[in-house]
Structure 1
Amino acid sequence: AYETSFMDMEWMRQINGLPVAADKMDGYHVIKGEVIERGSEDYEYLLTRRKNKATRTINWQQAKDYCQWLGNLTVLPFDLPTEAQWEYVARNRGEKRYYATNNGYLQYRNGQYFNPNTGYYIDYTDDEVNAGTSTEDQIGQWPANPLGIYGMSNNISEWTNDWYSPDYYQESPELNPQGPKTGEEKVMRDGLGTMTIGRVPNKIEEDKYYSSNSFRCSLQQQTPAIAKN
């Protein structure tokens, strides 16, 4: 599973004759109904400054379309991950991990974390920093989790395939839950300071592109049996 960069999305959209996935701005304000034009000064800025950042999405369908396009291109079953798949990977195959970092903790610069198992605060060096308080400067900025997956605790909310229901897991299948069959909102995982078990509903259509809304694609073959929480 990998998080999609701005450049990855731009290649897909350009190949398919779609506009750039970014709003046109007038200073700090979005110009409603307009997007950045290819070849413009704003476009060149995106290519040089944001090409390796997580791609922005204005709705769930954009994320879904990219993963399915990638599947058609590679002849591999790519799709958005289910919520259960996302959490299974974030928690290192279902372990009780607080965050999807290399050690299960968020280690901010000039900080420390509390280990509830020992009851002590843990100090660390700048070389051991594994998270930031804002979105990543680039994909892969922080160390991967034990499975080698990057960016699952990077303050960027990610779309999953599932419709949202607050009580779904009270009655869901024990293995490989796929989410409710219908709904009005989709489940997003990760986000600002969110633990591996944190989940939020999000409307499927936003009013503009947000840098904190992105996604990752995952292969849907040879999936292990994934149990709900």
Structure 2
Amino acid sequence: MKSNALLIATLPLLVSACFGGTSCEPNEQQICVDDEEFAEYLQGVMDNMVYVEPGEFIMGINNGIPDEGPPIEVYLDGYYLFNTKHSWLGFEFFDQRSGIERQEKGRFSYNPDPDFNNGRYGSEFPGAFLSWTEASQFCRWLGSETGLPFVLPSEAQWEKAAKSGNSDWIYATDNGQLEFGRNFYSEEDYRSGKYPGDRLPSKYFPPNPYGFYEMAFNGGEWMRDGYVDNYHELAERDNPVMLPEDFGLEPGPHITRVWRSDWSLAHDLTLNYIQSRKTADPSSGRHGVRCAINSSSPLPQIVYQQWTGLPTRQSNH
């Protein structure tokens, strides 16, 4: 794999040529962006990437339904994972800059007005209604903007982050349990209108010990893996990910993809627990996304460098 320095250096669109001043030079420590609002957004992404140390963890459980076990010990290289689901603001920049037309953009898009739909389409709320393809494109787009190896997380990466070092934890909360009204939705508060709709701001409840928020609620999250019911039998023990081509199938809409996490009180709470593996057609546009970076290197800073353009020749008249 190419180093971050080479990847970043090959992104000319990110480099701001500044005439009459000091240019920002892209390198391993900094990425140069000539749009101030976008630079602020990207720095927020970097600030909210949580590093998960390399090592083993126990994936799966005993006594679950067949596709949730048996438990296996899995080794993962170090990686970063975004500490929340990506926001509607992120989807707005994706819409503006990627050239990709989301299938649900006309119905569901960023709106910063706090009075619009209880503010649930603002920058503090998790975005949703992406197909698997769009979620994958979103992560690759972040990679194209930064030169970093952004991808959808594998099931193993997501589960290790959710368990946060506790193989017997049931829920991805701050203590592995659901305490209604403190670290999870309370039905009483829900019915009284305390929660504005079926989603909450991404950091409403405390994070789990690794620093990840809303892994037990606030919507589903697409995984990189295709679904196989005997995952724990087939999975590699080092950095497993079940790509369709790995089990003799061509990628496409006929390959169901895995999603994790779930909504809230509207569903059976067994769907919110860590081991629950759900599947959907990759073209179905319902879920959110939490991107990973497959790297152990320190993340660069985002530097806003104003584009001033070429000097203007002064008129003699």
2:208 to 142, 145, 154: 145
C-alpha distance in structure 2 between counterparts of 1:20 and 1:61, whole Å? 10
Q: Match of 1:108?
A: 180
Structure 2 residue ranges without an equivalent (≥5): 1-80, 191-197, 250-254, 264-268, 298-317
C-alpha displacement of 1:217: 0.5
Name the count of aligned residue pairs: 187
Within 2, Cα distance between the matches of 1:46 and 1:220? 36
In the other structure, the counterpart of 1:7 is 89
| Residue 217 (1) aligns with residue 291 (2) | yes
Structure 1 residue 171: Cα displacement = 2.1
Q: Which runs of 5+ in 1 are unaligned?
A: 24-34, 110-128, 224-229
The structural deviation recorded for 1:16 is: 3.0
TM normalised by structure 2 equals 0.53
- Aligned pairs for 1:21-32 within 5 A: 22=104
Stretch of structure 1 that moved more, 177-186 or 61-70: 177-186
Q: Are residues 222 and 37 of structure 1, via their aligned partners in 2, closer, same or farther at CA, if it must alter by over 3 Å?
A: closer
| 8 Å Cα contact 2:120-2:199 kept in structure 1 | no
Calculate percent identity across the aligned residue pairs: 27
Partner residue in 1 for 2:47: none
* In 2: Cα distance, 1:38 partner to 1:152 partner: 22
> Residue 92 of structure 2 contacts residue 110 of structure 2 at CA under 8 Å; is this kept in 1?
no
1:136 aligns with 2:136: no
* Structure ranking higher in strand proportion: 1
- How do residues 155-194 of structure 1 correspond to structure 2 at under 5 angstroms? 155-182=218-245, 184-192=255-263, 193=269, 194=272
- 1:128-150 residue CA offsets vs partner (Å, 9 max, x unmatched): x0111674321111110001111
Determine the structure 1 residue equivalent to 2:156: 84
Distance 1:37 1:150, change over 3 A: closer
> Which residue of 53, 70, 83 corresponds with 2:125?
53
CA RMSD of aligned residues (A): 2.9
The match for 2:283 is 205
Report which of the two has the higher share of helix: 2
CA shift at 1:155, angstroms? 4.2
When Rg is computed on C-alpha atoms for both structures, the one with the higher figure is 2
